Structure 1
């Protein structure tokens, strides 16, 4: 307790010191490469990735007003770039890639506080015994959502990278062919007992509901909700019914309109969590209606609403899905980080052995190439940006200055233009002379926390014996456990036999139930950042054992490696009823928040807002266009 606290400890607010933060820039970035490339991590447990204390420490010190007390005077590096991008997630890398496609001779620097590229689009890689080649999984952004309805900018990026999103590379028949279905795990946290119920499409509602460990009246209520709900709003027109739904959460609809047993409401609580990062107590009833299918969001059929078009009250995500011919499309086993690595491979010579769709998953990567002085595009990891300013009045500035913390002090570079592709809530702390109205609008984008764990299993015989490929938990810590989507691309082959090693993905959504989404996000994030990795690891082992133990699962034997990607600032919340009274008529805070400020433009999913890759991509294209328009003045 009496040891001396180093500068890095002060910035982190914890006793963790990253080796890469203490080294010189060239060695430090090689260290970051080792931390971001799973093949160089311990084989047994890959540990915590994503929003680690080292990734967030400087930003938190900046937020709390502690950073500049100890940071010292910024020192110019003498470096000058046509474009500096703050953030190496999908939006930031897309902005750099779009800029260089239009100006191949441009010098570009991308800065990020994390130890890998991709932001929430992370790659988890394992090397189980007996498998030829790595076993690859995603660490957050897993698929392309409804790509047939993407923006023209999003479709342009996919086409330029050679990604044919129609159908993806998923084998949709593998798990059903093995008689493996979705399941729901009624857990003791919700109902005092653990019970797995398989949602076999061949069974009637009454058959699977009869197995639920819930009150008799709740079973009757669920059968009614799924099979024969009445018209809850008799006498109202279609639009009037939708207006009623727009004022309710889904849990409120079940509780106050349908008046079903509390066990029935509890059974439905976690239905939306993996998609929205919060439960039925926060999901708008109007969006639940739009997403209802045979096993989710029951209770709306009796309303006989017009389903040929979305309601004006539906959130943007739901509205986009109406025009789509697809839903989640799986193109790569590592999810959307493949898009990021393909772009980086095209910009940075030698980073990847190949950059094509067919080879990006299995090629080699050299992170030591990312920040070489000879590169026209340089990518500097573990470098938290702490200041961005126009060099002079925003209206007339010809350049901007960007400062970042490199583990020793603040270094600055000069930029002809800057794209802020970080979180909206961080930007007011970096661009301190923004107009007050814009700062306030930026602060309203409170991201929802999400945790994505990937456990590499020795085999998946227990899943096969249980008859499930995915399970939703009704109230336990991890809300879903799902076998990796069977995606094969190029020479990469997904596991096809239950005797083979496989990845299982688990999701935890920390948003605290019973609150509005933004308040729930803040409370949940605070609890998450106080949760050590050991607790997360134990929870994975414990829940998988409860789920699969009756079918022979042994965590000590069957879990061979584990990576937990912690995203305290995860999903960008979309505007949605009943929480955003200004939606759909406006005005929208995002319109004010994303205004260009001199040489500084804003590109991120918060600026749309939207929690999918298309939102990040379209924001990047918009920011580049804004800066190009400014250059032409």
Structure 2
């Protein structure tokens, strides 16, 4: 339900009004998804999903849609609606009230569970290999793309909308993508980086910066990292102890060989046993303020801090302003076996660690594929036109389509119709908001979170279930604020800002991408989208434990607190340069991803890396007519991981089974019957 957030004791009236909390922009408050389901269950009913109507109506112009999910401000992503059924399944409460599944009478060659990049790629790859197949894609969210979301605003005076990303924003090292990933980009006609203007902000005198916040150092101080400043110059501006300044200059400019006498291989082995924070504290023995200054360097990329990032990966990705302290080791510039998958890929990339292709990020890839599979969904599917074309969500689930996509339809059961080795088909059940409906499938690809699959596929071997439960995703929150203009950024001389310890760890204006008829804001007087990132993983814990604790805190945080934090931090950053949140923030979307990044296997946390065996090897095994995709089956947190997992799942299924002929009432006895 859309509503204005009421000011309460958490947001004192005067201070809240100064920040614009009473401004009439669209907002949506939300509650803990677990608590919401529990309340509904206690009342004697499962939640009836308040899903947006996606049927009928004419296509909306210029990037919109019948249903217009991209235009919904407030909370997007892992909303209570999207998570309610999954949480009820996890807690063992769903089948108590779900009733007996009812067959729809539908049969498909393939059913895909999950409409994120991996799931849509799996369906797209399947249809390329098997033209004429009947495919159904099911997803619990109200829009396609999973973690790849599109945020859209319509500021007054701009010709057309402002489009931004709400999660998966760029292609990571596309020149080093897998053959499968490169095949998909080539098939879609995507030319990485062709439409980006990486020099726009720097040409206006805007640079990277660090905001030393009062949460870390007791006082706020913006330090601009101008390329003409020596390390000693900008370090002198930091509100840290004098010894910490000396230590940082040493780390950046002239660190010694911390491991004299050791071979290159032995030095890398020592780094593999440390986090970056441990390296700074225990090896370099720098002042605690220097360690605190470096804590959030990895957050925006890894979704956790230096206390969890492996020193071996920090060394491999160090640049002028991040991860200092390694130069004196004089290590061979080639990847170590101890490096993570992502870092190893970057080593072989052609200087393209992060490439922006579309204003909406990787959501464009998803819409391009769906537009080619579903007639009438997209007015155009080329790279140059996908951002500005019209979309009709009412076409997604038409009975006449060979490929159908059913949103707000969380899957609740999947099983082989017979022994896994010989089952000719499988049954898939989903909750339609009122009851569980089942369809039959010649094959199933699970492209959802691996940790959910054991609750859906009861027959899985215990070893495979346990391996899947280890794929704990890291939470991430991406906020998109539409500002009236960006004069304050220009006046401050900043284009990307890292906070050392405040709630939102990174702030930056939208990547300057102009594509087709879409033009990015080029003058500071124009409206612009600004992106902020919060990484809830709790510091001081191993990544998987930190993810669980952080996700619990995130789901208990109301929308108003998140909005208040956006306004308050932007004011602290830009207020001295004329920014007024009550005047300048004209729209806000919070993209909450409780299950965001798939954590890679890294040292020092995963002792089995690099020799194996890896949990993912067991987790992604085909089980009868059921194959496993999703980025966490790789695991990897980038689009290439999602794509390559989809290709692998299609290959695992081999030849296409014939489309099953549905027989009413065909499902095997399971937990839903035993609970009656």
Q: Would the TM-score normalized by the shorter structure come out above 0.5? A: yes
Q: For residues 29-73 of structure 1, give each alpha carbon's deviation from its aligned partner in whole angstroms, at most 9, with x where no partner exists.
A: x9997665334x4xxxx1000000000000000000000000000
1:323 partnered with 2:348: yes
Output the CA distance in 2 between the equivalents of 1:601 and 1:396.
15
Output the CA distance in 2 between the equivalents of 1:13 and 1:85.
31
Output the CA distance in 2 between the equivalents of 1:119 and 1:13.
31
Aligned residues: 618
Q: For residues 179-232 of structure 1, give each alpha carbon's deviation from its aligned partner in whole angstroms, at most 9, with x where no partner exists.
A: 100000000000000000000011100000000001111001000000011111
Q: For residues 482-516 of structure 1, give each alpha carbon's deviation from its aligned partner in whole angstroms, at most 9, with x where no partner exists.
A: 11000011111100000000000000000000000
Output the CA distance in 1 between the equivalents of 2:303 and 2:66.
30
Q: In 2 relative to 1, CA 26–459 (structure 1 residues): closer, same or farther, beyond 3 Å? A: closer
1:255 partnered with 2:320: no
TM (norm. structure 1) is 0.95
Match of 1:446 in 2: 472
1:116 partnered with 2:143: yes
Match of 1:278 in 2: 304
1:220 partnered with 2:246: yes
1:395 partnered with 2:457: no
Output the CA distance in 2 between the equivalents of 1:14 and 1:515.
38
Match of 1:63 in 2: 90
1:608 partnered with 2:641: no
Aligned pair partner of 1:595 in 617, 621, 624:
621
Checking the alignment, whether the CA contact within 8 Å between 1:12 and 1:54 is kept in structure 2 is no
How far did 1:104 drift? Answer: 1.8
Match of 1:19 in 2: 50
Match of 2:190 in 1: 163
1:347 partnered with 2:373: yes
1:10 partnered with 2:41: yes
Which runs of structure 2 are paired with 1:287-436 in the superposition (5 Å)?
287-307=313-333, 309-325=334-350, 326-436=352-462
Match of 1:133 in 2: 160
Q: 5+ residue gaps in structure 1?
A: none
Match of 1:565 in 2: 591
Match of 2:22 in 1: none
Q: In 2 relative to 1, CA 155–140 (structure 1 residues): closer, same or farther, beyond 3 Å? A: same
Q: In 2 relative to 1, CA 591–332 (structure 1 residues): closer, same or farther, beyond 3 Å? A: same
How far did 1:164 drift? Answer: 1.2
Query: Any idea what SS the aligned residue of 2:51 has?
Result: helix
Q: In 2 relative to 1, CA 12–316 (structure 1 residues): closer, same or farther, beyond 3 Å? A: farther
Q: In 2 relative to 1, CA 373–324 (structure 1 residues): closer, same or farther, beyond 3 Å? A: same
Checking the alignment, whether the CA contact within 8 Å between 2:46 and 2:97 is kept in structure 1 is no
Output the CA distance in 2 between the equivalents of 1:11 and 1:459.
48
Query: Any idea what SS the aligned residue of 2:223 has?
Result: strand
Q: For residues 222-252 of structure 1, give each alpha carbon's deviation from its aligned partner in whole angstroms, at most 9, with x where no partner exists.
A: 0000001111111111111110000000000
Aligned pair partner of 1:149 in 176, 179, 198:
176
Match of 2:270 in 1: 244
Match of 2:70 in 1: 38
Checking the alignment, whether the CA contact within 8 Å between 1:33 and 1:116 is kept in structure 2 is no
Checking the alignment, whether the CA contact within 8 Å between 1:121 and 1:141 is kept in structure 2 is yes
How far did 1:628 drift? Answer: 1.9
Q: In 2 relative to 1, CA 305–454 (structure 1 residues): closer, same or farther, beyond 3 Å? A: same
Query: Any idea what SS the aligned residue of 1:556 has?
Result: helix
Match of 1:522 in 2: 548
Query: Any idea what SS the aligned residue of 1:425 has?
Result: coil
1:93 partnered with 2:125: no
Q: For residues 585-623 of structure 1, give each alpha carbon's deviation from its aligned partner in whole angstroms, at most 9, with x where no partner exists.
A: 000000000000000000010111100000000110110
Structure 1 vs Structure 2 CA RMSD: 2.1
How far did 1:9 drift? Answer: 3.0
Query: Any idea what SS the aligned residue of 2:452 has?
Result: helix
Query: Any idea what SS the aligned residue of 1:57 has?
Result: helix
Output the CA distance in 2 between the equivalents of 1:571 and 1:223.
33
Checking the alignment, whether the CA contact within 8 Å between 1:249 and 1:281 is kept in structure 2 is yes
